[in-house]
């Protein structure tokens, strides 16, 4: 059933049951380090004008995007994630050996397997700690933060590295003007750490949800077990991202408002208490519509979609890093991050900012500019003459 066919009552986000609030967990959790990485290569709207039937004015007025970053070959998601992780670890004053777990949020992993998190752990020189990926689309960072928080609050972990890394340019069809103008590449990383029982919590509350009835609205159809790669799926362009833009837009505006209100209430706060609202950076019109419904003034909203486009799971983390870089976050500020994505999924995190203002050196280095030289060596060696798939001849037909 399509989400657009549901009644407004049926579409309402259902709050979690009484008694499941994060406050019941024991240890406070603080964000002690953040960092980001983006490819140094920019793809401007003017450049897109030479590739597809579009214009800078059309893109800007409908999305707010002026440019996006594109990873050059062979730069992959783990390379961007590794660069962002190094920045976050340095800012936190934490060594890789201090980490108890790594969680990577991505829908564009380097490989179907092994996980990008395992690749990242190896590059950090770590053996033995848990490392895994999760795929919740543009809500992925919110999902990863909650998973890390639950592990830390329970006492089973002390320090967790959370990374969101995407190379969406690998699954975007640059002949499709409806989608190729929207997406870019990037990564963000957060170091979450257990505080003492006497400390006030940093992470105040979370809210996650999903509605798989809208799975068809944002999908890469082929490449999985449903439609394995074949000459036919490649010819039909089924390995590219496909999106029903208007339906996703309506879902996004509604669910961002509802999830934000729920997470703020769960934190024992009001919407008016939000000092910095960091929404998923998909489209400036979605951000403006959600902010209007929440009654938040423009000066409390972080927007950087104009320079990066939609970087999926990385977008909220990248915006958080830039908000800190710009001096918009102060100790004691209430920060609310909220996102929506494929699945369909949604997620919000409310936190109280605890870090001191950045030093001039941190301002300069918080966002790493990655190049092809940052790429790791690819795994595996392709066979010289791959065997044809069942039912295919050797020429792929």
Task: For residue 30, give the CATH number of its domain.
Answer: 3.40.47.10
Q: Is 207 a catalytic residue?
A: no
Note down the domain range covering 71.
Answer: 23-374
pLDDT at 26: 79
What domain count does the chain have? 1
pLDDT cut 70: percent of the chain above it: 89
Q: Please tell me which residue in 118, 138, 180, 276 is annotated as part of the active site.
A: 138
CA 131, 135, 140, 146 dihedral sign is: negative
Q: For residue 297, is it within any domain? A: yes
**How much is the average pLDDT of 109-125?**
97
The reply to whether 2 falls in a domain is: no
The verdict on residue 380 lying in a domain is no
pLDDT (average), residues 148-158: 95
Supply φ then ψ for residue 338, to 5 degrees. -145, 140
pLDDT tens across 12-45, in order? 343 443 444 444 447 999 999 999 999 999 999 9
Q: Is residue 4 part of a domain?
A: no
Catalytic residue among 180, 207, 280, 283, which?
280
DSSP string, 262-285: HHHHHTT--GGG-SEEEE--S-HH
Q: Does the pLDDT at position 392 exceed 90?
A: no
138 is catalytic: yes
Residue 382 lies in a domain: no
Residue 28 confidence (pLDDT)? 95
Q: State pLDDT tens for residues 175-216.
A: 999 999 999 999 999 999 999 888 899 999 999 999 999 999
Note whether residue 180 is domain-resident.
yes
Pick the catalytic residue from 45, 207, 283, 310.
310
Tell me the helices (H) and strands (E) count for the chain, helix number first. 12, 14
Which of 342, 333, 360 lies closest to 278, judged by CA?
Answer: 333
Residue 351 belongs to some domain of the structure: yes
Bridging pattern class, strands 67-69 and 101-105: unpaired
Q: Does residue 283 carry a catalytic annotation?
A: no
Domain-embedded: residue 264: yes
């Amino acid at each position: 059933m399509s989400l657009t066919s549901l009644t407004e009552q049926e579409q309402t986000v259902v709050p979690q049951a009484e008694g499941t609030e994060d406050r019941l967990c024991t240890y406070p959790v603080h964000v002690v380090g953040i960092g980001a990485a983006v490819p140094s290569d920019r793809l401007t709207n003017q450049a897109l004008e030479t590739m597809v039937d579009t214009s800078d004015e059309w893109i800007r007025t409908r999305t707010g995007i002026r440019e996006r970053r594109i990873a050059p070959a062979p730069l992959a998601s783990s390379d961007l994630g590794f660069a962002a992780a190094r920045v976050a670890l340095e800012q936190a004053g934490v060594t890789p050996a201090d980490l108890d777990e790594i969680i990577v949020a991505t829908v564009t992993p380097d490989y179907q397997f092994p996980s990008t998190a395992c690749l990242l752990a190896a590059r950090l020189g770590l053996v033995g700690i848990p490392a895994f990926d999760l795929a919740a689309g543009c809500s992925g960072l919110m999902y990863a933060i909650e998973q890390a928080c639950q592990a830390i609050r329970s006492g089973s972990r002390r320090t967790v590295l959370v990374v969101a890394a995407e190379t969406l340019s690998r699954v975007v069809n640059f002949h499709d003007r409806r989608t190729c103008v929207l997406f870019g590449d990037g990564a963000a990383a957060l170091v979450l750490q257990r505080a003492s029982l006497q400390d006030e919590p940093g992470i105040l509350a979370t809210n996650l949800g999903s509605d798989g009835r809208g799975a068809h609205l944002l999908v890469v159809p082929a490449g999985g077990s449903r439609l394995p790669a074949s000459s036919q799926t490649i010819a039909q362009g089924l390995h590219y991202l496909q999106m029903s833009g208007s339906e996703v837009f309506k879902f996004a505006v509604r669910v961002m408002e509802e999830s934000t209100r729920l997470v703020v209430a769960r934190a024992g706060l009001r919407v008016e208490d939000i000092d910095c609202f960091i929404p998923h950076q998909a489209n400036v019109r979605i951000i403006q519509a959600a902010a209007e419904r929440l009654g938040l003034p423009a000066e409390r909203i972080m927007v950087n979609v104009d320079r990066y486009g939609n970087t999926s799971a990385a977008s909220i983390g990248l915006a958080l890093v830039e908000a800190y870089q710009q001096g918009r976050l102060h100790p004691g500020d209430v920060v609310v991050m909220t996102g929506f994505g494929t699945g369909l999924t949604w997620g919000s995190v409310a936190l109280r900012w605890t870090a001191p203002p950045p030093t001039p050196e941190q301002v300069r280095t918080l966002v790493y500019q990655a190049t092809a030289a940052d790429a790791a060596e690819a795994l595996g060696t392709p066979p010289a003459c791959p065997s044809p798939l069942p039912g295919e001849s050797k020429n792929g037909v």
